[in-house]
Amino acid sequence: MVSTMEKSIQDIFNNWLEKNSIDFSGVFSASGIDGVIFRQTSGYRNRAEKLPNAVDTAYGIASGTKLFTGLAICKLIDDKKLFLEDKTCDLLPYDLGQIDKRVTVYHLLTHTSGVGDYIDEEADDEEVQLQNLYGKYPAQLWIRLEYYLQMITALPPKFEPGERYGYSNSGYILLGLVVEALSGVSYQQFVKDIIINPCGLTHTGFYRTDSLPANTSLGYMQDEDVGEWHTNIFNVPLIGGSDGGLYFAQRI
């Protein structure tokens, strides 16, 4: 029997789809203190083979990965291995080029560092910049976080540390490098050990885009000129990093 709450959420979800003319592909799930109230799947995890999405399909969550990076940093703070006031230049064993030496962990976490962003989402020509970036630095080479430094350290600061908010992918790459410097393992391994495994997320991880496990959704981009859908394998890192790229599936 459908509950009043379930029916209300279903109506809200369907009205949202209709109002915005959205061809939804994924899983919509609403939960309360007693568990799942309403859940609906739609679309394909593989368009060519028409393989439907399931409630436990894993999806690339892009910048949703930053939440996991924040939790990893909080774990190091809880363990007294790190403090918000620590300066990035004191934590990392790299030449940080033009990165301001006053930038702290707090600045990186709160997107107030002013560090030059290798993907500047505040720029009007963000998409053009991104395509040029992948032309110079092919996606299959984006594996270790150190690789990103050449794209970041040569950039001039966008503003003084703490001056304002400015969404920063570069800042979260630096946080991932902090995790690696203090833990002695890769960022991906640390997140797996202290978040993914303890939470019982059995189908969540930093999967290679060229060898995704079963029941994992391919990412797609639409060519608006011809209306065709193509996988995004050449437009995302081979292995996700601390600013994006985790594949996540909810626990069932």
Q: Provide the residue ranges of all domains of the chain, joining segments of one domain with +.
A: 63-196
Least confident stretch, 21-25, 149-153, 191-195: 21-25
**Average pLDDT estimate for 31-53:** 93
How confident is the model over 54-71, as pLDDT tens digits? 999 999 999 999 999 999
pLDDT at residue 1, as a whole number: 55
- The whole-chain average pLDDT of the chain stands at 94
Q: Given pLDDT bands bounded at 50, 70 and 90, which one contains residue 99?
A: very high
* Contact of 166 with 112, CB cutoff 8 Å: yes
pLDDT at position 126 is 85
Quick: pLDDT tens for 151-171: 999 999 999 999 999 999 999
In this prediction, residues 118-140 reach a mean pLDDT of 90
CB 193 within 8 A of CB 179: no
Confidence (pLDDT) at 220: 93
Tell me the mean pLDDT in the region 109-122.
Answer: 95
Distance CA 120, CA 127 (A): 9
Q: Encode pLDDT of 192-220 as tens digits.
A: 999 999 999 999 999 999 999 999 999 99
Q: Return the closest-CA partner of residue 143 out of 211, 73, 198.
A: 211
Cut 0.95: pTM above it: no
Please give the distance of CA 79 from its chain centroid, rounded to a whole number. Answer: 24
Closest CA to 113 of 68, 175, 58, 55: 175
Q: DSSP H helical segments within the chain, as ranges? A: 4-20, 65-78, 88-91, 105-109, 126-136, 149-152, 169-183, 187-191
Note the pLDDT of residue 222: 87
What is residue 114's DSSP assignment?
Answer: -
End-to-end CA distance of the chain: 21
Q: What is the pLDDT of residue 89?
A: 97
| Residue 248 identity (one-letter amino acid) | F
For 17, residues 6+ apart whose C-beta sits below 8 A from its C-beta are: 24
Helices 65-78 and 169-183, interaxial angle, to 10°? Answer: 40
Do the Cβ atoms of 59 and 232 come closer than 8 Å?
A: no
Comparing 126 with 238, the larger pLDDT belongs to 238
Question: Which residue in this structure is represented by tokens 């996991």?
Answer: 68
pLDDT of residue 63: 96
**Which whole number is the average pLDDT over 135-148?**
96
Q: What local confidence, expressed as pLDDT, does residue 19 receive?
A: 86
Q: What pLDDT, on a 0 to 100 scale, did the predictor assign at position 2?
A: 65
Look at residue 27 and give its three-state secondary structure.
strand
- Residue the block writes with tokens 């189908």: 203
C-alpha 66/C-alpha 117 separation (Å) is 15
**Cβ-based neighbour number of residue 5 at 10 Å:** 12
Q: Which residues pair with 41 in a beta bridge?
A: 27
CATH class (in words) of the domain with range 63-196? alpha beta
Task: Check whether 49 has a pLDDT greater than 90.
Answer: yes
